Amino acid sequence: MLSVVEGRVLGCLLEKQRTTPDQYPLTMNALILACNQSTAREPTMALEVHDVDAAITSMKAGGLLRIVHPSHGRSVTRYRQVADEAHGWTAAQAALMAVLLLRGPQTVAELRTRCERLHDFTSIEAVEASLSELAALDPPMVVRLDRATGQKELRWQQLMADEAEPAVRAGPSTNPAASAAAGLAAKVADLEERIARIEAALQELL
């Protein structure tokens, strides 16, 4: 089973492959930003380069991730997931695994809504069918949880990685240095992507 950090890295790669294909495979900076973003992540994390790098090394050895070395006008190393190929997931199954890895156990209705940008499920039944397929794999990728006290609907959980415990979210003014660092990292990632696009355009002109 993958660690919590490995699960977050895999979930981000699965997600960004579908939501931002022009920026995929991801650079290290882009991958760290994806892991630490404050939206569509439960719980939020504050991973650093060494955390993500260790996860990349482990997942590469496990045949779930590949390193894309600089070429075709791109000046930095990038990373892409191959878990969907390794396990033979359909597009629908990969979308569900991404959201389950990124947001923990969820109901079928929540999964359908949160998968909208990754895959267009036509109905609740379509989501349930894909979940049932994932549960029937050997080994199973998901499991339907028993209804907890106070819950009206059953939830599904992924079985590929350890589940993270909910983190206590600090207020916006708790750590200004961390906020500034996150903002700088975002600018660096944006500049990196712009440079890569310019280099690719120049390469086509030569």
Ranges of each domain in the chain? 4-158
- pLDDT tens sequence across 42-97: 999 999 999 999 999 999 999 999 999 987 666 799 999 999 999 999 999 999 99
User: How distant, in Å, are the alpha carbons of 10, 34, 94, 152, 183 from that of 120?
Assistant: 21, 22, 12, 25, 32
4-158 CATH, one of 1.10.10.10, 3.40.50.9100, 3.40.50.2000, 3.40.50.1220? 1.10.10.10
Residue 172 pLDDT: 41
How far is it, in rounded angstroms, from Cα 181 to Cα 19? Answer: 25
Residue 197 pLDDT: 54
- pLDDT tens sequence across 1-22: 999 999 999 999 999 999 999 9
Q: Yes or no: say if 117 and 99 are a contact pair by the CB < 8 Å rule.
A: no
Which pTM value belongs to this model?
Answer: 0.79
Instruction: Using the predicted structure, report yes or no on whether residue 180 has a pLDDT greater than 90.
Output: no
Mean pLDDT value of segment 171-183: 47
Instruction: Using the predicted structure, report yes or no on whether residue 150 has a pLDDT greater than 90.
Output: no
What's the chain's Rg over C-alpha atoms?
18
